[in-house]
């Protein structure tokens, strides 16, 4: 019963938090589209109640969609409001059909570069249009016209509305940075609500445009748009695709966020087909009641999860509160200045242009897709932008498919033919010309570095190999990592990321099998097999500089291969390794500034988004801490360094079976005191991290997350920390699927967890 009461209490508080965010946002989105302001509240209420009850993502919060602002504004201007409502109903019916056909997963196959480019383009359109409202004017018919009219609008701006907009922006940006006990209490109030409330108070004595809510009446029935059937079908399809895509991607993002927040708990995955059915039903009802088109939003959904929601009750209750507010608080809403709502929506639009997404797509060499989508959305529209991005993605895929590089090199023991890229019929002439450079009777190794080979290329390779052998030569065909299949075992060239035992994969015949020979043999194997494969990527990193996303602090133990454990490559991790994965707190010892300097560089210069502290089993530093006192007068460098682990040792002595700060493994008992100390040490070093001002500041801003991890060497098993319970849960193999990026806050000082993929 106590658990049920706690669930009800957390759902209730989360519903109020999301309600306070949804009301000003819904009014602002309605203002941005030119729709009746009450239509935004209708969409929020219907989205919360209907989609909340019927949808497959219980913690997703639906309402007036940011991604549909541009489309809805065009519909209102072109067809009128009643016809826009009809389009919403038709789009909902089409969503119901798609849900019945169970095609929801297909929407996730769209390139992330297209999705991010579409959202960035929509955000640009929203921001530029709402800037005119902040300045006291009205947005133009297109983004190009808005940009052209901006200088004149700046000259003729309203004297008071820019000030109100500036107050809104300052409060939204500064609210999460409030400090002190009073600041902590104020931060519980959502920043959008605080911004609108303060700007309303500031504008109380000013004559500025304000919200005008018409008297609630029975909504007029939607009427079909007048115009060519093909045009109407296009807009219905556009609304359906954009609303469905945003809802499904947001559902996956909220699902991943919920799994991270409740690490170790059994969290059922979102049912995407059911979510599509719920969104369709909500859009049908919203259109019938005169509401805006509805979609699930990652911003409201993530706020719901962060506020502690545990079930769909929070989502439904939020819709109920919106409904009550619309009926009982109309007078209060009419005091809100339009400039405040416009500034709020303008900020939402600016945040949709994410530089993290730009770096992500650039790293995967899909920036042309992103740029084509963004530019076309801004100039022509959303559907045209998605089509342009898809066309660019196809062009890039074809270019990669047809881009094949064939090189022939002469080596002491024969010739080597390297084929980089996909082998299709288009590459056969190039392949034939390369084979013509190989003398008859020569020994040849052919390295095939590609994941695809069509029948024409296969026949060309097989035919040439047969002819070469018939003329007295030898031809050995290798695999995609550059190692010939029949290469003598004595060479022992190690394939990248393949199993090895006792270092045999890095020993070479030409180098003695000593410790130094082993190292040089590994370098030689790298130069022969791996360097040709990574040279282009490393050259790019050399030109562009390092831009890692994570700082990884772990032990110097030779058994921990960080890149292997995290499946990361060059440029992904900024790594700090020391004895015992210790993070000395500020001011503890001037001789330990190297670790703090690395953290400061990673946080302030590289602007990493997460820091992971990783302990491990069998740690010699933990064993030494348990067996020695390490008094302040210790003279050896190792003894002086291990003094920074004494807080962990003291924390261990304070923990009992039920004591505060107890740590545990979810799947099995903790083996011994050494393993328990390793787990406690991870938590203690996270506390030390939060003592560093640069880390605390970025965490408070929501730009940095701290994670805890424990790696058991003998099990080859990683465990992640749930800071609310102190339990380390094993990472399941299927948990490594990449998650859709979602904006979120950093952890509180006492609550640390680890994203599924470090």
- Do 373 and 386 meet the contact criterion of CB atoms below 8 Å apart? yes
Q: Is 223 left (phi over 0), alpha (psi -120 to 50) or beta?
A: beta
H-helix or E-strand spanning residue 122: helix 112-134
Within 10 angstroms of residue 678's Cβ, the number of other Cβ atoms is: 30
- β-partners of residue 730 are 719
Q: Which of 256, 252, 264, 184 is nearest to 708 (CA)?
A: 264
Rounded CA separation 329/323 (Å) = 10
| Strand segments (E) across 379-478 | 405-411, 414-420, 443-449, 474-477
**Secondary structure tally for the chain: helices H, strands E:** 31, 13
Quickly tell me which residue has 């997350």 as its tokens.
705
Helix (H, G, I), strand (E, B) or coil at 397: helix
Q: How deeply is 229 buried, as exposed, middle or buried, from its count of CB atoms within 10 A (0-12, 13-18, 19+)?
A: exposed
Radius of gyration of the chain (CA): 30
Within 10 angstroms of residue 62's Cβ, the number of other Cβ atoms is: 37
Q: Which of 724, 720, 721, 741 is nearest to 732 (CA)?
A: 720
Quickly tell me which residue has 């089993």 as its tokens.
617
Nearest-10 crossing angle of helices 312-328, 37-46 = 150
- Do 418 and 407 meet the contact criterion of CB atoms below 8 Å apart? yes
Helix (H, G, I), strand (E, B) or coil at 445: strand
Helix (H, G, I), strand (E, B) or coil at 148: helix
DSSP state of 631: -
State the pairing for strand pair 664-665/727-730.
parallel
Q: Phi first, then psi: what are they for 210, rounded to 5°?
A: -130, 170
Nearest-10 crossing angle of helices 338-351, 191-202 = 150
H-helix or E-strand spanning residue 584: none
CB half-sphere exposure, 675, CA atoms < 13 A: 15
Q: How deeply is 138 buried, as exposed, middle or buried, from its count of CB atoms within 10 A (0-12, 13-18, 19+)?
A: exposed
H-helix or E-strand spanning residue 665: strand 664-665
The encoded tokens of residue 583 equal: 């993070």
Q: Which of 266, 250, 267, 323 is nearest to 38 (CA)?
A: 323
The four Cα atoms 659, 664, 666, 671 give a dihedral, to 10 degrees, of: -130
- β-partners of residue 551 are 574, 611
State the pairing for strand pair 573-578/705-712.
unpaired
DSSP state of 529: I
Instruction: Assign 3-state DSSP to the chain and report helix, strand, coil percentages, each to 5.
Output: 60, 10, 30
Q: Phi first, then psi: what are they for 304, rounded to 5°?
A: -65, -45
Quickly tell me which residue has 């392949």 as its tokens.
431
Q: How deeply is 675 buried, as exposed, middle or buried, from its count of CB atoms within 10 A (0-12, 13-18, 19+)?
A: buried
Q: Phi first, then psi: what are they for 484, rounded to 5°?
A: -65, 140
Within 10 angstroms of residue 696's Cβ, the number of other Cβ atoms is: 16
The residues assigned a catalytic role are 555, 557, 559, 616, 619
Q: What angle do CA 47, 112, 60 make, to 5 degrees?
A: 20
- β-partners of residue 411 are 414
Helix (H, G, I), strand (E, B) or coil at 500: coil
């Amino acid at each position: 019963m106590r658990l049920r009461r706690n669930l009800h209490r957390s759902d209730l508080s989360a519903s109020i938090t999301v309600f306070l965010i949804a009301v000003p946002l819904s009014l602002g989105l309605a203002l941005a589209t030119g729709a009746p302001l009450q239509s935004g509240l209708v969409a929020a209420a219907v989205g919360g109640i209907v989609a909340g009850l019927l949808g497959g993502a219980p913690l997703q919060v639906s309402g007036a969609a940011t991604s549909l602002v541009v489309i809805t504004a065009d519909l209102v201007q072109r067809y009128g409001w009643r016809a826009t409502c009809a389009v919403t109903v038709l789009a909902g019916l089409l969503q119901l059909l798609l849900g019945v056909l169970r095609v929801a997963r297909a929407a996730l196959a769209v390139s992330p570069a297209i999705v991010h480019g579409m959202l960035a383009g929509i955000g640009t359109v929203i921001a530029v249009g709402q800037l005119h409202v902040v300045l006291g004017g009205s947005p133009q018919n297109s983004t190009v016209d808005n940009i052209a009219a901006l200088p004149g609008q700046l000259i003729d701006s309203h004297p008071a509305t820019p000030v109100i907009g500036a107050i809104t922006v300052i409060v939204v940006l500064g609210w999460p940075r409030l400090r002190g006990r009073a600041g902590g209490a104020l931060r519980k109030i959502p920043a959008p609500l605080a911004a609108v409330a303060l700007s309303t108070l500031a504008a109380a004595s000013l004559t500025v445009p304000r919200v005008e809510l018409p008297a609630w009446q029975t909504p007029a029935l939607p009427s079909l748009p007048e115009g060519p059937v093909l045009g109407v079908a296009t807009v219905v399809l556009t609304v359906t695709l954009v609303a469905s895509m945003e809802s499904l991607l947001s559902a996956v993002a909220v699902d991943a966020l919920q799994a991270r927040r409740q690490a170790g708990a059994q969290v059922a995955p979102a049912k995407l087909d059911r979510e599509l059915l719920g969104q369709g039903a909500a859009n049908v009802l919203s259109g019938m009641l005169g509401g805006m088109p509805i979609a699930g939003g990652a911003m409201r959904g993530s706020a719901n999860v962060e506020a502690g929601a545990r079930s769909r009750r929070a989502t439904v209750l939020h819709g109920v509160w919106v409904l009550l507010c619309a009926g009982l608080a109309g007078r209060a809403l009419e005091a809100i200045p339009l400039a405040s709502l416009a500034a709020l929506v303008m900020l939402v639009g600016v945040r949709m242009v994410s530089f993290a997404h730009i770096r992500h797509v650039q790293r995967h060499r899909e920036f042309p897709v992103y740029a084509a989508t963004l530019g076309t959305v801004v100039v022509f529209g959303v559907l045209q932008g998605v089509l342009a991005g898809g066309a660019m993605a196809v062009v890039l895929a074809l270019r990669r498919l047809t881009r094949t590089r064939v090189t022939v090199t002469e080596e002491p023991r024969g010739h080597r033919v390297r084929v980089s890229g996909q082998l299709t019929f288009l590459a056969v002439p190039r392949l034939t010309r390369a084979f013509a450079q190989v003398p008859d009777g020569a020994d040849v190794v052919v390295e095939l570095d590609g994941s695809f080979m069509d029948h024409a290329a296969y026949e060309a390779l097989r035919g040439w190999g047969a002819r070469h052998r018939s003329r007295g030569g030898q031809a050995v065909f290798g695999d995609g990592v550059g190692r010939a299949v029949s290469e003598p075992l004595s060479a022992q060239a190690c394939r990248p990321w393949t199993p090895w035992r006792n270092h045999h994969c890095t020993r070479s015949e030409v180098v003695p099998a000593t410790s130094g020979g082993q190292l040089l043999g590994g370098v030689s194997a790298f130069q022969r097999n791996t360097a040709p494969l990574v040279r282009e990527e490393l050259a790019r990193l050399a030109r562009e500089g390092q831009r890692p996303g994570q700082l990884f602090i772990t032990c110097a133990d030779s058994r921990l291969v960080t890149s292997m454990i995290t499946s990361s490559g060059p440029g992904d991790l900024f790594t700090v390794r020391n004895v015992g994965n210790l993070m000395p707190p500020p001011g503890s010892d001037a001789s330990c500034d190297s670790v703090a300097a690395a953290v400061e560089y990673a946080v302030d210069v590289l602007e990493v988004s997460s820091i992971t502290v990783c302990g491990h089993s069998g740690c010699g530093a933990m064993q030494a801490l348990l067996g020695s006192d390490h008094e302040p007068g210790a003279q050896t460098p190792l003894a002086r360094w291990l003094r920074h682990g004494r807080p962990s040792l003291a924390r261990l002595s304070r923990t009992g079976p039920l004591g505060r700060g107890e740590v545990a493994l979810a799947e099995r008992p903790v083996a011994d005191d050494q393993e328990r100390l390793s787990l406690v040490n991870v938590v203690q070093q996270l506390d030390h991290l939060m003592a560093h001002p640069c880390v605390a500041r970025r965490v408070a801003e929501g730009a940095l997350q701290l994670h805890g991890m424990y790696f058991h060497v003998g099990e080859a098993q990683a465990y992640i920390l749930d800071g609310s319970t102190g339990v380390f849960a094993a990472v399941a193999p299927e948990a490594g699927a990449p998650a859709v990026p979602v904006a979120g806050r950093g952890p509180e000082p006492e609550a640390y967890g680890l994203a599924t993929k470090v």
